[in-house]
Homo-oligomer: A and B are copies of this chain.
């Protein structure tokens, strides 16, 4: 191990961009449970999924045996426009905290989508293009995923139709304009362009929508248009697979300097960024080669891992999607309106859910004012305005670093800085004006939506 001075930012060369994604399921003794057909409760087969997803992506979704999936050259080329992303040594934050801990973060925000979402968007657009499709449909909440997909589709000349949760469509006109600049067609959801949208509009007049509802509309649109498929930005195993470029690059950069993290921290909504960051480390843990503390951080207002149940559940409000086994708060759960930013999905990646269930990973939840306090502290010394989502990880990284200050331990902490907060300034404004509040659902609140999880033999026992 060389004693080189570690730079502020470790950049790998473009030739060091991973040549394959790492499929952590191959190394898991307890595999994540398969997706089920919501009608028959039987594992879904390739053919059943073909009307919804691209063929190659279904293969990736169902593949829990091959540890490495080669990254096509055309995707690696696109990656070169914004990857390798920097692994940053947070010297300024360490100095500010006065901690003996060594803090690193993998920064995925240096691209126009502003987040890690582009890693999977370009892969999904590529496979759609290779299959000769005309376009793809999707949903977006805060807008990162829709932006990333618009960029990827523009690159390959694919039509991109985005159902954007209506309240975001109205409150985040700038996100909408970025997508339009990249040529995407953006529709506020629920809309009158789908049957499920019309039904929800009729049942709940004036509703401002939800992610689950937008998913249902996007799936319906894809399956009713010739040459279209549906794509999703999180939760699915294929998405987590694509996001492993984050963890593979982070590990390669640390290895270069002989650094091994003690604690790895990431925010968790659907789980794809966290899963992507931790997969290579989790793999070593699964193979008994090394041990790491892995911490998933979720918002106290949407606590699927820390307060949900491990069961098969619907992925969307309209119940048109497969059932997935995951930690869930129930598909009808909608976080309080005061909740800022993403991380508002009711469920969690089935890979991470299984890992958590098997004790391979910890989870903790944090309240949003504490999250923004950490975001501000980080921004002022590290010079990057972080996304509210990413700031959940910053909060816990700071807390762990402060524990080291108390104990005098010099632990190495790695966290995922998934994106920038340039489109979240309404939330920063609320924090700056001290009008931001916290909200923790009561047990009763959670019981209401958890009780709606489907009951069938073997589920929710």
- Report A's interface with B, CB cutoff 8 A: 7-9, 11, 13-14, 78, 80-82, 92, 110-112, 114, 151, 154-155, 173-174, 177-178, 180-183, 376, 379-385, 420, 422-423, 425-426, 428-429, 431-432
Question: How far apart sit A151 and B378, CA to CA, in the bound complex (Å)?
Answer: 12
CB <8 Å contact, B178 and A7: no
CB <8 Å contact, A80 and B425: no
Shortest Cβ distance from residue A453 to the other chain B in the assembled complex, whole angstroms: 39
Shortest Cβ distance from residue A374 to the other chain B in the assembled complex, whole angstroms: 12
Question: How far apart sit A51 and B114, CA to CA, in the bound complex (Å)?
Answer: 42
CB <8 Å contact, B13 and A177: no
- Which residues of chain B have C-beta atoms less than 8 A from A183's C-beta? 380
Question: How far apart sit A428 and B147, CA to CA, in the bound complex (Å)?
Answer: 15
CB <8 Å contact, A380 and B14: no
CB <8 Å contact, A112 and B177: no
Question: How far apart sit A71 and B207, CA to CA, in the bound complex (Å)?
Answer: 57
Shortest Cβ distance from residue A423 to the other chain B in the assembled complex, whole angstroms: 7
- Which residues of chain B have C-beta atoms less than 8 A from A81's C-beta? 8-9, 92, 382-383
CB <8 Å contact, A154 and B380: yes
CB <8 Å contact, B383 and A174: no
- Which residues of chain B have C-beta atoms less than 8 A from A151's C-beta? 380, 383
Question: How far apart sit A429 and B178, CA to CA, in the bound complex (Å)?
Answer: 9
**Smallest CB-CB A-B distances: 5 pairs:** A174-B425, A8-B80, A154-B380, A177-B425, A112-B385
CB <8 Å contact, B423 and A181: no
CB <8 Å contact, B182 and A380: yes
CB <8 Å contact, B82 and A155: no
CB <8 Å contact, A178 and B428: yes
CB <8 Å contact, B425 and A383: no
Most buried by B among A78, A80, A82, A112: A112
CB <8 Å contact, B177 and A429: yes
Which of the residues B181, B420, B423 comes within 8 Å of A428, measured between beta carbons?
B181
CB <8 Å contact, B423 and A422: yes
Which of the residues B82, B181, B381, B383 comes within 8 Å of A379, measured between beta carbons?
B181
CB <8 Å contact, A178 and B82: no
Question: How far apart sit A332 and B282, CA to CA, in the bound complex (Å)?
Answer: 64
Shortest Cβ distance from residue A44 to the other chain B in the assembled complex, whole angstroms: 34
- Which residues of chain B have C-beta atoms less than 8 A from A155's C-beta? 92, 380-381, 383
- What are 20 A-B contacts defined by CB distance under 8 Å? A8-B81, A9-B81, A78-B383, A81-B92, A81-B382, A81-B383, A92-B155, A111-B383, A111-B384, A112-B383, A114-B422, A151-B380, A151-B383, A155-B381, A174-B422, A178-B422, A178-B428, A180-B428, A422-B422, A422-B423
- Which residues of chain B have C-beta atoms less than 8 A from A110's C-beta? 110
- Which residues of chain B have C-beta atoms less than 8 A from A11's C-beta? 11
CB <8 Å contact, A420 and B383: no
Question: How far apart sit A422 and B92, CA to CA, in the bound complex (Å)?
Answer: 26
Shortest Cβ distance from residue A26 to the other chain B in the assembled complex, whole angstroms: 31
- Which residues of chain B have C-beta atoms less than 8 A from A111's C-beta? 383-384
Most buried by B among A173, A381, A432: A432
Which of the residues B112, B177, B385 comes within 8 Å of A432, measured between beta carbons?
B177
Shortest Cβ distance from residue A144 to the other chain B in the assembled complex, whole angstroms: 12
Closest to A384 in B: B112
CB <8 Å contact, A181 and B432: yes
Question: How far apart sit A426 and B381, CA to CA, in the bound complex (Å)?
Answer: 30
Closest to A7 in B: B14
CB <8 Å contact, B428 and A177: yes
Question: How far apart sit A114 and B425, CA to CA, in the bound complex (Å)?
Answer: 15
Question: How far apart sit A181 and B178, CA to CA, in the bound complex (Å)?
Answer: 24
CB <8 Å contact, A9 and B80: yes
- Which residues of chain B have C-beta atoms less than 8 A from A383's C-beta? 78, 81-82, 111-112, 151, 155
CB <8 Å contact, B173 and A379: no
